[in-house]
Amino acid sequence: RGAARAQWRGRARAMAEGPQPKRKREDEEEKNGGAPAQGGAAAALTLSDLRVRRILRESARDKIVFLHAERVGLSGEGTDAVVILEKTPFQEEKIPDLLKKPMNAELQMHNDIYCTFYLSPPPELSEIKATVVYPATEKHIQKYLRQEVHLIRETWEDYKNITLPFIQSQSFSIQWVYNILEKKAEADRIVHENPDPSNGFVLVPDLKWNQNQLEDLYLIALVHRREIKSLRDLTAEHLPLLRNVLQEGKEAIVKRFGVPGSQLRIYLHYQPSYHHLHVHFTALGYDAPGSSVERAHLLADVIDNLAMDSTYYQKRALTFPLRADEPLFKKFQEAGKV
Ligand code: M7G
């Protein structure tokens, strides 16, 4: 385990200091005469093309800001984008450089044994991660806008009468999931795959993790089966699949990153944003967004519940948070359920 962790740290350091290894997609783009291999607009986008329209949400504690931006075309028409800027966590091996490397360290305050400095570190020690959604839909903008949140208690009947028709009519596109499963995107990031069409899955680093440090480790397992929308669809029939995800996911993570299963939080979201069954793997010590009781269901508990009662998730009520101006919240309000 220690060896796997050390090996991984070495790799992460080499990546960070690198010359960056050429990505598979760039190879493909060269083959395609410069055209982005995934057909996604973002592949051709640079950050300087974007103009900030407003701040959707920010958190001083998490050092993160969510922006509504736009890309202005030649005709002056703006196309919406969401940009998430986040200060990255410290990387252990780079910390000594923060004090050593020549930089402006401005003394702000000195009182007895206490003083504060402000550092202006060189670029390699002051990274910011930028996640861009472009073109962004209204739903993406709503997802990141700070809003009042309410808890919904959804019975099975509510699910069938309110939630299911809603998610069938308007859900986020899951093209990005199919791109991963079909190796059209992120193929070089796959950590583990079980290719079985009914009991297999792909494990990849989550969009939220930059893979530079293990403190905020975050991976997701996307199942190959396409018809399972969420926890609500699961029955005992899916137990072999779920057990594979739990077992093989843990094994792959300890092997690649040196983090044991006992230090992983492995869970499903209800409601998920993307209705294709997936499982979150986060570092236990990391307070990952969406890991709180009103949204996270531990995979081991889900497996036990299904083993006891195949129709457990078609019987019980489930609680989840909804933002006040989400259309689904309005549907629950109209039905007098809030
Ligand atoms: P969710 O519970 O459906 O929604 O989880 P949430 O985003 O509200 O938590 C989907 C997970 O997939 C999240 O942890 C996202 O960060 C992650 N994710 C989303 N996208 C669009 C991508 C992507 O393109 N690639 C990867 N690797 N992860 C993604």
pLDDT by residue (tens digit) across 85-124? 999 988 888 888 888 866 778 888 998 899 998 888 888 8
Is the pLDDT assigned to residue 145 strictly greater than 70?
yes
Determine the distance separating the centroid of ligand 1 and the alpha carbon of 149, expressed in angstroms.
Answer: 20
Mean pLDDT of the chain: 88
For 186-228, the pLDDT digits (tens) are 999 999 999 999 999 999 999 999 998 999 999 999 999 999 9
76-89 mean pLDDT: 93
Residue 325 CA: distances (Å) to CA of 84, 141, 272: 21, 12, 17
pLDDT at 301 exceeding the cut of 80: yes
pTM score, two decimals? 0.83
278 is catalytic: yes
Residue whose structure tokens are 């983090």: 259
Amino acid at position 100, single letter: K
Q: Tell me: pLDDT of 81 over 80.
A: yes
| Cα of 210 from ligand 1 centre, angstroms | 14
Q: Is residue 207 in contact with ligand 1, taking CB distance under 6 Å?
A: yes
Is 279 known as a binding-site position?
yes
**Residue 74 annotated as lining a ligand binding site:** no
Per-residue pLDDT at 40: 53
Does ligand 1 come within 6 angstroms of the Cβ of 290? yes
What string of H, E and C letters represents the secondary structure of the chain?
CHHHHHHHHHHHHHHHHCCCCCCHHHHHHHHCCCCCCCCCHHHHCCHHHEEEEEEEEEECCCCEEEEEEEEECCCCCEEEEEEEEEECCCCHHHHHHHHHCCCEEEEEEEECCEEEEEEECCHHHCCEEEEEECCCCHHHHHHHCCCCEEEEEECHHHHHHHHHHHHHHCCCCCHHHHHHHCCCCCHHHCCEEECCCCCCEEEEECCCCCCCCCCCCEEEEEECCCCCCCHHHCCHHHHHHHHHHHHHHHHHHHHHHCCCHHHEEEEEECCCCCCCCEEEEEECCCCCCCCCCCCEEEHHHHHHHHHHCCCHHHCCCEEEEEECCCHHHHHHHHCCCC
Span 2-44, pLDDT tens digits: 677 777 666 665 554 544 433 333 333 333 333 333 545 555 7
Question: In this structure, what are the phi and psi dihedrals at residue 167, rounded to the nearest 5 degrees?
Answer: -70, -25
Summarised one tens digit per residue, pLDDT across range 134-144 is 999 998 998 89
Least confident segment among 120-124, 264-268, 305-309: 120-124
In the prediction, which pLDDT does 120 show? 86
Residue 124 confidence (pLDDT): 83
Confidence check: pLDDT of 326 > 90: no
Q: Which domains does the chain have, with CATH numbers?
A: 48-144 (3.30.200.40), 149-335 (3.30.428.10)
Active-site choice (68, 238, 278, 297): 278
Q: What pLDDT is attached to residue 11?
A: 63
151 labelled as ligand-binding?
no
